[in-house]
Amino acid sequence: MIGQKRVFGRRCSSPRGWGLAALGVAICGAFSVLWGCATVSAVGSMLPPEIHGWVREGEDAIYDRETLFDYLDGGAEVYRSFDVRRVLARRYSRPGQPDIIADIFEMGSSADAYGVYHHDLRREGQAGVGNDSEYLEGALQFWKGTFFVSVLTLEENEASARAVLDLGRAIASAIPDTGTPPWLLRILPAKDRLRAQVRYFHDHTSLNSYYFIADRNLLGLDSRTEGVLARYGSDVQGAHEEVVLVVVRYPSTQEAEAAHERFLAGYLPEAEEGGVAQVEGGKWVGVRSQGDLLAAVFDAGSRAEADSMLALVLTGGRGGREG
């Protein structure tokens, strides 16, 4: 699909018309970047037409959240769950060398760009591009501002790897805003947290893909909620499993309280006062809400460990929203 003449998911029938449209996008894009409110077309207009001998092939393909299925058959739903707005796909080619493909995803917020990037487990190392980045076997991925970016070569060699990294740096330079990670990360306890295993999500399907809770949407998650999942090393001697912490922020206190009650009734009916109970396998699970926040702990090694983690989160979050 890359290289086909598309504007916002629709084919252009006239090459001349496309040329005028591309000129308009380039002019508007330059001003958008200068004004710090970049769109995917604006960022695309600032990219180099050539990088270390690789030359842009054809016109950029642009997709919206509906036409993205035409490009990412079977993979579009992940991006849609993070409020993808537009996607620009560009291919670079060089004789005797593998092609390079750049995909630039414009998300609804910088938190969503963070979420898409961390949808996959990441290594601890960084590639030094954007806010968080990873280079692995010819593929560079990073997030910056409201954008998630993937640049890859179809076959890694010394020259193509260099071109991929330098193209990624050029794309990052064309994104004017740095963006900020999700606010919920600020209230996660730092001690024993596994840095590479922190996920951000909105809906029930995404959370279940990171840690299965139940077929039913007991926490009442939807596009209006935002949550983080983090994994921790256990403080309990002899514990081999990681402790899982889930924190969700709701649009209102009433919705957080309703989710709390629904989770207790459907998942932890045996919980005593304090919302903590020992479950099958000897592990401990707990849930509490305060204000618009709900925190749940899974696979804790002891009641004290579950209690402590819940208290740290809700004390740090103060059950309220910032910004």
Provide mean pLDDT across the span 28-49.
70
| Of residues 237 and 151, more confidently modeled | 151
Inter-residue contact 220 to 246 (CB < 8 Å): no
Average pLDDT, the chain: 86
Lowest mean pLDDT among 122-136, 181-195, 276-290: 122-136
pLDDT band at residue 17 under the 50/70/90 scheme: very low
pLDDT band at residue 124 under the 50/70/90 scheme: low
What pLDDT was estimated at residue 14?
31
Domains of the chain in sequence order: 6-174 (no CATH), 183-317 (3.40.1000)
What pLDDT was estimated at residue 317?
54
CA–CA separation, 76 and 191 (whole Å): 35
| Of residues 82 and 8, more confidently modeled | 82
pLDDT band at residue 272 under the 50/70/90 scheme: confident
Residue 316, both tokens? 């740090």
**What does the longest C-alpha to C-alpha distance in the chain come to?**
71
pLDDT band at residue 234 under the 50/70/90 scheme: confident
What pLDDT was estimated at residue 152?
97
pLDDT digits (tens, 9 = 90+) for 55-94: 999 999 999 999 999 999 778 999 999 999 999 999 999 9
CA–CA separation, 88 and 194 (whole Å): 33
pLDDT surpassing 80 at residue 320: no
CA–CA separation, 51 and 100 (whole Å): 10
| Of residues 235 and 147, more confidently modeled | 147
Provide mean pLDDT across the span 24-30.
41
CA–CA separation, 297 and 245 (whole Å): 5
